[in-house]
């Protein structure tokens, strides 16, 4: 086994960027396709839910990347939380504001189809709960229907918190108590899906197998193929997605299996080769990284933009021309908004640096090793 520290650069970075970009585009495409071509909509009781599978990929990638950043930078709890919160809030809060505007448009239009599909109950509570990342704790599932993909951020937030409380506070008895306390607040749905996130951490930390580069890439391809077969052919277990008791965590056992194969693919990645060895030039690699960085805004913005498109232009069911127009418009607009939001991210970083700086003395005292 190779115990040398992993580096997320070169070929490794390109693989991770490709996976997250493919996952985000899959979610966008499937959500729009389900609206324009209802006959293709996935049946919850059957395997093959590609948009949900993309979220499983995101969870594994997230665990892998967080394991890398914490290992490389050895952040304390304050700086760790600052980095995580600024990243999440820089996209989720603007996404919620856009979602609120779109829901207001839907309510004003009073389109019965849009109301039935995208409006639930009173306006304010869902937004407040989601802004605090409490929308998926215990047996709630409360993200605004105008932006359903935000459910996964209610999981992701708690994985950051639970891991940070354990990793950044010494990993002793107190750390375990803090992490278990956070698990109790998060509840069973989030905890049942957390092994998938931890698989990504394990894929980073476990010693890499000593295989030739060609054999390593073959193993990566086989693991990803096995993950795809799991998604396409393994029935949801123990429950179908979307209903009580666990909503988006209903098929947690099936998701574990898919997560194992994705994590195996990351574990099998050979040592990073220079990006220029994989693509035509370093400039191409840098531009691809910029493109891949748009996956987060594409994911959190596309569904609200989809509903806005329906409100403004209507829907011609089974119309391929309008379908592709919607795909292009939503992809372009969400990407442009993502660039704007990325430029604003330093402001969020400064805000959370100030916020956690104000409480840092207390944190140091409470979590002193």
- Token digits of residue 257: 């299996």
The residue-averaged pLDDT of 184-213 equals: 93
Tell me whether residue 41 is in a domain: yes
- Residue 111: enclosing H or E segment and its boundaries? none
Per-residue confidence (pLDDT) for residue 354, from 0 to 100: 82
* SS3 annotation, 227-278: HHHHHHHCCCCCCCCCCCCCHHHCCHHHHHHHHHHHHHHHHHCCCCCCHHHC
**pLDDT tier, 24 (very low <50, low <70, confident <90, very high otherwise):** very high
Per residue in 231-290, pLDDT (tens digit) is 999 999 999 998 888 999 999 999 999 999 999 999 999 876 655 455 555 677 677 788
Tell me whether residue 108 is in a domain: yes
Tell me whether residue 4 is in a domain: no
- Environment class of 305 (CB within 10 Å of its CB; exposed 0-12, middle 13-18, buried 19+): buried
Tell me whether residue 246 is in a domain: yes
Tell me whether residue 206 is in a domain: yes
Tell me whether residue 322 is in a domain: yes
Largest CA distance in the chain: 62
Per residue in 316-359, pLDDT (tens digit) is 999 999 999 999 999 999 999 999 998 888 888 888 888 877 66
CA atoms within 13 A on the CB side of 92: 25
Give the Cα separation of 72 and 181 in Å (integer). Answer: 27
Per residue in 129-175, pLDDT (tens digit) is 999 999 999 998 989 999 999 999 999 999 999 999 999 888 889 99
- Token digits of residue 233: 């052919």
CB within 8 A of 225, min separation 6: which ones?
none
Q: How many domains does the chain have?
A: 1
Per-residue confidence (pLDDT) for residue 317, from 0 to 100: 93
Can you give the pTM of this predicted structure? 0.92
Give the Cα separation of 297 and 342 in Å (integer). Answer: 9
The residue-averaged pLDDT of 212-227 equals: 93
Q: Residue 60's domain spans which residues?
A: 10-366
Tell me whether residue 259 is in a domain: yes
- Token digits of residue 305: 């933009």
**pLDDT tier, 25 (very low <50, low <70, confident <90, very high otherwise):** very high
Give the Cα separation of 249 and 136 in Å (integer). Answer: 10
Tell me whether residue 144 is in a domain: yes
Give the Cα separation of 331 and 25 in Å (integer). Answer: 9
Give the Cα separation of 258 and 234 in Å (integer). Answer: 9
Give the Cα separation of 206 and 198 in Å (integer). Answer: 12
Give the Cα separation of 81 and 289 in Å (integer). Answer: 24
Give CA angle at 157 (156, 159), nearest 5°: 65
DSSP reduced 3-state for 110: coil
Give the Cα separation of 279 and 288 in Å (integer). Answer: 10
The DSSP string of 286-304 is HHHHHHHTTHHHHHHHHHH
């Amino acid at each position: 086994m190779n115990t040398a520290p992993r580096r997320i650069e070169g070929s490794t970075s390109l693989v991770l960027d490709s996976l997250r970009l493919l996952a985000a585009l899959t979610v966008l495409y499937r959500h729009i396709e389900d609206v324009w071509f209802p006959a293709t909509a996935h049946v919850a009781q059957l395997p093959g839910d590609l948009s949900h599978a993309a979220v499983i990929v995101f969870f594994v990638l997230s665990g892998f990347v967080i394991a890398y950043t914490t290992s490389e930078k050895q952040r304390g709890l304050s700086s760790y939380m600052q980095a995580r919160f600024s990243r999440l809030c820089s996209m989720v809060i603007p996404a919620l504001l856009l979602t609120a505007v779109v829901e207001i448009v839907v309510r004003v239009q009073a389109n019965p189809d849009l109301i039935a599909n995208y409006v639930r109950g009173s306006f304010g509570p869902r937004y407040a709960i989601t802004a605090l990342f409490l929308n998926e704790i215990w047996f709630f599932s409360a993200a605004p229907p105008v932006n359903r993909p935000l459910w996964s951020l209610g999981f992701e937030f708690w994985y950051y918190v639970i891991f940070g409380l354990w990793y950044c506070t010494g990993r002793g008895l107190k750390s375990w108590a803090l992490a278990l306390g956070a698990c109790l607040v998060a509840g069973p749905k989030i905890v049942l899906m957390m092994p998938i996130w931890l698989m990504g951490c394990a894929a980073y930390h476990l010693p890499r197998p000593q295989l030739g580069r060609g054999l390593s890439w073959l193993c990566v391809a086989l693991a990803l193929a096995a993950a795809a077969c799991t998604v396409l052919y393994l029935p949801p277990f123990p429950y179908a997605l979307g209903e009580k008791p666990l909503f988006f965590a209903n098929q947690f056992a099936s998701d574990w299996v898919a997560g194992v194969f994705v994590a195996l693919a990351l574990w099998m990645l050979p040592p990073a080769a220079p990006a220029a060895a994989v693509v035509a030039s370093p400039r191409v690699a840098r531009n691809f990284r910029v493109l891949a960085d748009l996956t987060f805004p594409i994911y959190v913005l596309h569904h609200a933009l989809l509903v806005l498109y329906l409100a403004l232009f209507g829907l011609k069911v089974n119309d391929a021309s309008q379908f592709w127009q919607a795909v292009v418009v939503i992809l372009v607009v969400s990407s442009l908004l993502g660039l704007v939001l990325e430029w604003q991210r330093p402001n969020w970083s400064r805000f959370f640096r100030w916020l956690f700086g104000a409480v840092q003395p207390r944190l140091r005292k409470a979590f002193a090793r």
